[in-house]
Amino acid sequence: MAEIPYDEETTRDWSWYAVDDAGHVAEFSTGGFRFLPASVRSDWECAEELIAYFDGAPVTTGAVIRPEFLVSEIILGDPAILKDQKRREWYFRSFTAAASRGLFAYDTLLKQEGDYFGVTIPERPLHVSMLPEEVQKQLLCTRATFSFRETPRISEAVTLTW
């Protein structure tokens, strides 16, 4: 079980995963600007396995853009996301893909120090109990104490305690 080195953690756009108090799963994108929770950073192999698992997971539901996102600092700071079709498609591609696999999807707020902002939500959220036992075990190492559905903005400092 190798730890993710500092330079790899801080220069790579990591996807990492957590389970909320209802058993739903979320994907977080660091953009290379956020630190990983200790539970993720401590096991590089597990982090890579979860990325591969969810990248290959089947589409199971529709995806919806969070209403809060449409009035967020991301949109206000870059209105081209909504006005330019190609830019919008490029931006939402990975977040829609995550939500279509049942995951709540969070992006990094670059202009706000230490925050993640929810971009998309699944129409039918994936519950951790629906996953293979080994994936459940890996995911349950990183747990939120609140609902992803009800929390559009999460502080990096909070995620570091998971």
Residue-wise DSSP of 47-62: HHHHHHHHHTPPP-S-
Give φ, ψ of 154 to 5 degrees. -130, 130
Mean pLDDT throughout 129-138?
98
Instruction: Say which residue, 24 or 89, is predicted with more confidence.
Output: 24
How confident is the prediction for the chain on average, in pLDDT?
91
Q: Which residues contact 133 (CB under 8 A, 6 or more apart)?
A: none
Mean pLDDT throughout 54-68?
95
Model confidence at 115: pLDDT above 80 = yes
Task: Find, among 136, 161, 66, 52, the residue nearest to 107 by Cα.
Answer: 66
What is the pLDDT confidence band of residue 90, given thresholds at 50, 70 and 90?
A: confident
Mean pLDDT throughout 136-141?
97
CA 50 to chain centre: 12
Mean pLDDT throughout 123-129?
98
Q: What is the pLDDT of residue 86?
A: 84
